[in-house]
Amino acid sequence: MERVQSTNLHAYILIAIALFLSLSRPSHATKQFNVLSFGAKPNGMVDSAPAFVKAWDAACGSTDAAVIYVPKGRYLVSPVRFNGVGCKSLNIVFRIDGTLVGSEDYMFLGKEANWLSFERVSGVSVIGGSLDAKGPSLWSCKASSSNNCPAGATTMSFVECSRINVKGVLSLNSQMFHIVINRCRDVKLDDIQIVADGKSPNTNGIHVQLSTNVEIRNASIKTGDDCISIGPGTKNLWVERVTCGPGHGISIGSLGKDREEEGVQNWTVKNESGVRINDVIFYQGIRGTSATKIAVKLDCSSKTPCTRIRMKDINLRYANEAAQSSCVNVLGDSTLGNLVKPQACF
């Protein structure tokens, strides 16, 4: 009788262990989709956009977490849209080890509003990689005053998206804006590098509008227009450890990318609706004539004051008079170097 009870107890223990192991295993694996398997060519000559779309469709159709992998190489990619409607996977990662390039013919991208467009996606991450839009050919067209130049494409846009993570991405020579966040929620941008010529037109680094809970950290932005432009409807924005220049600094309240802007006329940083500006450097070649006597204005809220705003190499004039600066709720700030005109107000 004791032997039977011992055998039954041993069986119960084995069943319990098996049940524990089955419950402790992840219920879903991560599936990987290599764009080469869908026809992408890493030679920079054959349009790989159809392969990228096929890889996206396969990832969306998976009920597991998915990784779309772009190996090393150069991939010519025409404008492509990644649509999240009907996606089964709640976690899709674009892991890019290669470089995505546009064509030297600016019409290759310029005929569309966006180059890489994510629409109505949720739980998507873009990790690593370089995006070279070959913008100089379009900039030259615009500089020639030709009426046949298209407006150009934004390099990467997110529209009506949520839970977005962009990390370690290098954006080069965008035709227009580099990264646009529009009508999105819960977006994190980290370790972003943006590079374009200081005279490149309308090449805002990061534009945010009608979006909530957006974080921009550890960014180096060197471009020809606003480093970060913050449009209407932006709430709970955190900007931290951003190096800006060349460029027009951080603009809040911009009316949109069609606004024409020649030189630096007025520099305004506002802090409203939970927008938090912290540890930002504005510098390098900010010179010209201000349209108003207050050439540098930092207007922050008492609840979320601006902190560690550092200025360097600023020389702005107002007509034949000395320009002035204005500060409201600016704490713990400093200047870098000797040339800061008008004199900082903190």
- H or E stretch at 85: none
How does strand 235-244 pair with strand 267-271? unpaired
For position 264, what pLDDT does the model report?
A: 29
Give domain status of residue 10, yes or no: no
By residue range, what is the domain housing residue 116? 27-261
Catalytic residue numbers? 248
Same domain, 292 and 200: no
Quick check: 267 pLDDT over 50? no
Alpha-carbon distances of 114 from 92, 156, 192, 291, rounded to whole Å: 21, 7, 19, 32
Question: Is 108 in the same domain as 187?
Answer: yes
Q: What is the number of structural domains in the chain?
A: 2
pTM (2 decimals)?
0.77
Closest by Cα among 62, 38, 33, 66 to 51: 38
More confident residue, 28 or 89: 89
Residues 6 or more apart from 199 whose CB is under 8 A from it? 139, 224
Query: pLDDT digits over 286-319, tens only?
Result: 677 777 788 887 777 777 788 777 777 788 888 8
Backbone angles phi, psi at 299, to 5 degrees: -120, 95
Domain end (from 261, 284, 315):
261
14 within a domain of the structure (yes/no): no
Q: Please report whether residue 11 resides in a domain.
A: no
Residue 2 buriedness (CB in 10 A; 0-12 / 13-18 / 19+) = exposed
In the structure, what pLDDT confidence band is assigned to residue 86 with cuts at 50, 70 and 90? very high
User: Is there a single domain that holds both residue 257 and residue 291?
Assistant: no
